[in-house]
Amino acid sequence: MVDLLQKPIDYLKGVGPNRAQLLRKELGIHIFQDLLYFFPHRYIDRSQHFTPSNLPNTTAEVQVIGSIIHLETIKQKKGSRLVASFSDGENTMELVWFRGQQWIQKSLHLNKPYVAFGRLNWFGKKCSIAHPELEFIEDHEQRKGNFQPVYPSTESLVKSGISQRVVRQIMVHLFDELTGGVHEVLSPDIISQYKLISKHEALRQIHFPDNQELLGQAQYRMKFEELFFMQLQLALKKRNRKIQIKGISFPTLGIFFNDFYKNHLPFPLTEAQKRVLREIRVDLKSEAQMNRLLQGDVGSGKTIVAVLCMLMACDNRMQATLVAPTEILAQQHYSTIKKLLEPLNISVGLLTGSVTKATREPLLQALADGRLHILIGTHAVLEQPVHFHQLGLAIIDEQHRFGVAQRAKLWRKNKRLQIFW
């Protein structure tokens, strides 16, 4: 089955070299597998039928039952058009072709019942359908399913005769080739637990839906599969990251944390804050690298949690940094945290783009030799001249305002860094 899906589409019945070249160029379809996963972008409900006597006064796509009672080629300023009078015995409408007239005229049969499908065009009280899809009524009645797929297309494909009908017929030939079915990728337990239909049936229903309910089940199955493998990929990346990248273990809760928690907290912590601190503490004690998102409303106490986490780093002879998106926010954090930690004799510094050279140089020196314990700043913290003695914890405030490349610069300061956003 895998070998079959890798076959070039040139070898599929109804395609051939010329059509294959167009499908490759226009739609990027090279092999059977590309065609199998070339899904319709919408469906047309073909359960309703009209006659020329009861046409709706709209420009919608409709199915009309009738017979061709007359054919005529009419000359125009440029070329000609083929016009068929399509009647139900009482009223008549026109079917019109501007291209391929000679071949189309040979294929049409007078006074034989057809189902014509296409978009209505009204000119006063007269109605026509240009380039309709025609099907003998007996063939139409034998065809299963009322939901007809509509595939993405291009002007070049239509001009070359690869219509929606041709694409649907190619899909029929493709499924005729898949006699052994499509390989199942989910386990029987998962299929049973989530009540999923098989992959082969899902793909068949997407291309040839029997009804709306089965189409919905097929779409659900394919969406489930896509999200399942996305989640699996993320889980594998997370597992590999934990194996390959070790974090810095903070085994000690020392004098800084305990003194501040017992004697200098500005307010009692809520149960939610205590729970989050316990979870972060478990992360920081392990050797796995922490990469955590901390969410909370404005005023919910995220800053005090950040301060306590930075004290865990200081207790383990590590430095910490808090990066904010704006100078105003960085200055606010600096004022708040410096005031909170004054009783502990912890050195806190501020680095922003507006810090003068005279202030910046001694600050960077203190940071590099370890005399500065906590650095608060803006994007300036991420730049190359900023070197930490031993950076152990980074906290990003409003992480959505930082680009991926900017945040990646933090890991270059210390690839075993513990981070929360």
Kindly give the pairing relationship between strand 133-136 and strand 113-123. Answer: antiparallel
Q: What is the pTM of this model?
A: 0.60
Is the alpha carbon torsion for 298, 301, 307, 310 positive or negative? negative
How confident is the prediction along the chain (421 residues), in pLDDT tens digits per residue?
A: 558 889 999 999 999 899 999 999 999 999 999 999 999 998 887 778 899 999 888 888 888 999 999 999 999 888 899 999 999 989 999 999 988 888 888 889 999 999 999 889 999 889 999 999 898 888 877 766 678 888 999 988 988 888 888 999 999 999 999 988 899 999 999 999 999 999 999 999 999 998 889 999 999 999 999 999 999 999 998 888 777 777 788 888 889 999 999 999 989 999 999 999 999 998 888 877 777 888 878 777 889 999 999 999 999 999 999 999 899 999 999 999 999 999 998 999 999 988 888 999 999 999 999 999 999 999 888 888 888 998 988 888 876 666 666 666 666 666 556 665 5
- ∠ at Cα 416 (412, 417), nearest 5°? 75
CATH of domain 47-144: 2.40.50.140
Cα→Cα distances 5→2, 205, 229, Å = 5, 18, 20
Task: Note the pLDDT tens digit of each residue in 303-327.
Answer: 999 999 999 999 999 999 999 989 9
pLDDT of residue 46: 75
pLDDT of residue 175: 94
pLDDT of residue 413: 63
pLDDT of residue 198: 95
- SS3 readout for the chain: CHHHHCCEHHHCCCCHHHHHHHHHHHHCCCEHHHHHCCCCCEEEECCCCECCCCCCCCCCEEEEEEEEEEEEEEECCCCEEEEEEEECCCCEEEEEECCCHHHHHHHCCCCCEEEEEEEEEEECCEEEEECCEEEEHHHHHHCCCCEEEECCCCHHHHHCCCCHHHHHHHHHHHHHHCCCCCCCCCCHHHHHHCCCCCHHHHHHHHHCCCCHHHHHHHHHHHHHHHHHHHHHHHHHHHHHHHHHCECCCCCCCCHHHHHHHHHHCCCCCCHHHHHHHHHHHHHHHCCECCEECCCCCCCCCHHHHHHHHHHHHHHCCCEEEEECCCHHHHHHHHHHHHHHHHHHCCCEEEECCCCCHHHHHHHHHHHHHCCCCEEEECHHHHCCCCCCCCEEEEEECCHHHCCHHHHHHHHHHCCCCEEEC
CATH of domain 255-420: 3.40.50.300
- How far does CA 185 lie from the centroid of its chain? 21
CB 392 within 8 A of CB 250: yes
| Nearest in space to 168 (alpha carbons), one of 200, 144, 192, 191 | 144
pLDDT of residue 408: 63
Would you say how long the chain is, in residues? 421
CB 62 within 8 A of CB 148: no
270 vs 282: CA distance, rounded Å: 19
- ∠ at Cα 300 (404, 269), nearest 5°? 120
Q: What is the dihedral of CA 221, 227, 230, 236, to 10 degrees?
A: -90
Task: Note the pLDDT tens digit of each residue in 199-219.
Answer: 999 999 999 998 889 999 999
pLDDT of residue 302: 87
**Residue 405 exposure: Cα atoms within 13 Å on the Cβ side:** 1
